[in-house]
């Protein structure tokens, strides 16, 4: 068990340090890199407690897709410049900072509640002693619960994600007029007769092209 706990402490140390670095580092791109490191070490912790499916899904979804989009946005927007704007005197709106304060207050109280959860740890450990079968892989056992008892919640969360996706597309979609688009079918099915017109040109008169 010594090796196990050593690895646990290494991963949790990395997770905590990188979580702190996400908020502390001045460069926003570095913050995202630390966030990625945090995600990776947390998925390692998941794997260590035997939840390998969750750990891998964490890697695929958060590190493989979400964090890439974070990086994308952070690199494209000039966040550092905007941050300077928010705190400078010439910035006149007053809406961002109060909202930010409110959200961070809520998160702070949530954190306190989570820490309070330690008090109930003994009860939790007792309830954990229900039979955990080591023979069924945890992918299968998650599937067994997710698609039977919680199928409605699962479907509803899928629907919410779908609605959010459609909403994002609708909000950003702008129909542009006058854009020339290619159609492969049209290009390939073009015949010689449509493209080439052989005309007998008369001398000194030329050919008149009717548009």
Partner 1 sequence: MDSYFLILFTEVYKIIFLLVPVLVSVAMIVWLDRRVWAFVQKRRGPNVVGPFGLFQSLADALKYIFKEIIIPASSNKLVFVLAPVVTMTLALISWAVIPFGEDFVLADINVGILYLFAVSSLGVYGIIMGGWASNSKYPFLGAIRSAAQMVSYEVSIGVIIINVLLCVGSLNLSDIVMAQQNLWFVIPLFPMFVIFFISALAETNRPPFDLPEAEAELVAGYQTEYSGMMYAMFWLGEYANILLMCAMGSVLFLGGWLSPIDIFPFNAIPGPFWLIFKILFLFILFALVKATVPRYRYDQLMKLGWKIFLPFSLFYVVLTSSFLLYFDLLPGK
Give how far Cα 131 sits from Cα of 128, 146, 149, Å: 8, 18, 18
Query: Taking each helix axis from N to C terminus, what angle separates 67-76 and 28-48, rounded to the nearest 10 degrees?
Result: 170
Footprint (CB under 8 A) of partner 1, residues 42-101: 52-53, 56-57, 59-60, 63-65, 68-69, 71-72, 75-76
Q: Where are the beta strands (DSSP E) in the chain?
A: none
In a 13 Å sphere around the CA of 137, the CA atoms on its Cβ side amount to 5
- CA–CA distance, 211 with 198 (Å, rounded to integer): 15
Note whether 165 binds partner 1 by CB under 8 A: no
Question: Among residues 184, 211, 183, which one has the least CA distance to residue 197?
Answer: 211
Residue (8 or 53) nearer to partner 1, CB: 53
Residue nearer to partner 1 on the CB measure, 19 or 30: 30
- Is residue 151 a contact point for partner 1 (CB under 8 A)? no
Report in angstroms how near the CB of residue 211 gets to partner 1 at its nearest: 29
If the CB atoms of residues 20 and 105 are measured against partner 1, the closer one turns out to be 20
Complex with partner 1: residue 65 or 145, whichever CB lies closer:
65
- What's the CA gap between 122 and 82, in Å, rounded? 47
Question: With respect to partner 1, which residue has the nearer C-beta, 65 or 146?
Answer: 65
Q: Which residues of this chain interact with partner 1, rule CB under 8 A? A: 2-3, 29-30, 33, 36, 52-53, 56-57, 59-60, 63-65, 68-69, 71-72, 75-76, 137-140
């Amino acid at each position: 068990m010594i090796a196990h706990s050593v690895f646990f402490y290494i991963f949790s140390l990395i997770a905590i340090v990188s979580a702190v670095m996400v908020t502390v580092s001045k460069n926003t791109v570095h913050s995202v890199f630390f966030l990625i490191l945090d995600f990776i070490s947390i998925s390692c912790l998941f794997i260590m407690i035997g939840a390998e499916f969750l750990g891998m899904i964490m890697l695929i979804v958060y590190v493989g897709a979400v964090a890439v989009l974070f990086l994308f946005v952070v690199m494209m927007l000039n966040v550092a410049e905007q941050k300077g704007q928010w705190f400078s005197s010439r910035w006149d709106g007053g809406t961002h900072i109060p909202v930010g304060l409110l959200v961070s207050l809520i998160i702070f109280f949530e954190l306190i509640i989570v820490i309070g959860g330690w008090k109930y740890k003994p009860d939790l450990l007792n309830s954990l002693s229900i039979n955990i079968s080591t023979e069924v892989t945890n992918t299968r056992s998650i599937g067994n619960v997710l698609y039977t008892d919680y199928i409605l919640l699962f479907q509803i969360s899928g629907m919410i994600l779908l609605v959010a996706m459609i909403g994002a597309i609708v909000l950003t979609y702008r129909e542009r007029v006058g854009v020339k688009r290619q159609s492969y079918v049209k290009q390939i099915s073009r015949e010689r007769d449509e493209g080439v017109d052989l005309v007998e040109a008369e001398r000194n008169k030329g050919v008149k092209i009717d548009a």
